[in-house]
A and B are shown apart, each in its own frame.
Chain A
Amino acid sequence: AQRVTQPEKLLSVFKGAPVELKCNYSYSGSPELFWYVQYSRQRLQLLLRHISRESIKGFTADLNKGETSFHLKKPFAQEEDSAMYYCALTGSARQLTFGSGTQLTVLP
């Protein structure tokens, strides 16, 4: 069975501080990992995916197969980064399995 774990339900950091949102997964094959973000009063949207290996809005995430992790990082948090972040994985069937989400609050 596939599972995604986000251990932090809430995370607060000050503006300009580094931020790391943790994500661990279990999957028997080779999954694709994603980070989705939901800003207040907006729909869920893709932030980044591991196969793209890109930085979006200053965020990066590296897939660590040994530790089965896909942590989301940003060196300098901004107030506009405050949102709900979901880690998710998909296998061959293409449907997403989501983690429980982390509510990030960036304080001024």
Chain B
Amino acid sequence: SAVISQKPSRDICQRGTSLTIQCQVDSQVTMMFWYRQQPGQSLTLIATANQGSEATYESGFVIDKFPISRPNLTFSTLTVSNMSPEDSSIYLCSGIEAAEQYFGPGTRLTVT
């Protein structure tokens, strides 16, 4: 099974700044995704991270706010840009290996 790690595990940031979250998988995965879990809510898909090309964003999420990179089959980054308190959430990455989706531990972001 794929093991997914994320850095940082948590951060407290000031509004207007940006944070880049890293996601590392210990094996090559076919697909990678980024999700957001706002306080008290379920997981919402932000985008599909595509290797070597632009990410595919879900409705309500845009590249300027959440730029994503995926340079290879084991690594991806999500940047939360120009942060506001509404961006305070847990951000999770996931990857699919052998038709099963595995999740990272999440990055807890607090914007003050």
**B contact residues around A101 at 8 Å (CB):** 42
| B43 A43 Cβ-Cβ under 8 A | no
Which residues B33-87 have CB closer than 8 A to chain A? 33, 41-45, 48
Is B20 an interface residue, CB under 8 A from the partner? no
| A95 B100 Cβ-Cβ under 8 A | no
Q: Given A43-B106, A44-B103, A46-B100, do A99 and B48 touch, yes or no (CB 8 Å)?
A: no
| A99 B42 Cβ-Cβ under 8 A | yes
| A94 B43 Cβ-Cβ under 8 A | no
Main secondary structure of the interface of B (DSSP, over half): strand
How far apart are B71's CB and chain A's nearest CB, in angstroms?
Answer: 21
Which residues A28-49 have CB closer than 8 A to chain B? 43-46
Which residues B97-112 have CB closer than 8 A to chain A? 100-106
| B33 A95 Cβ-Cβ under 8 A | yes
| B45 A96 Cβ-Cβ under 8 A | yes
Alpha-carbon gap, A90 to B101, bound state (A): 11
**A contact residues around B33 at 8 Å (CB):** 95-96
Which residues B17-32 have CB closer than 8 A to chain A? 31
Which residues A13-71 have CB closer than 8 A to chain B? 43-46
Is B13 an interface residue, CB under 8 A from the partner? no
How far apart are B34's CB and chain A's nearest CB, in angstroms?
Answer: 10
**B contact residues around A44 at 8 Å (CB):** 43, 92, 103
Q: Given A43-B106, A44-B92, do A96 and B41 touch, yes or no (CB 8 Å)?
A: no
How far apart are A52's CB and chain B's nearest CB, in angstroms?
Answer: 10
Q: Which of B41, B45, B96, B103 contacts A43 (CB 8 A)?
A: B103
Q: Using an 8 Å CB-CB cutoff, how does the interface string of A76-97 with B read, 1 for contact, 0 for none?
A: 0000000000100010011111
Alpha-carbon gap, A42 to B95, bound state (A): 17
Known pairs A96-B94, A99-B42 / 16 extra A-B pairs, C-beta < 8 Å? A43-B105, A46-B100, A86-B42, A93-B48, A94-B96, A95-B31, A95-B33, A95-B45, A95-B48, A96-B33, A96-B43, A97-B45, A98-B42, A98-B43, A100-B41, A101-B42
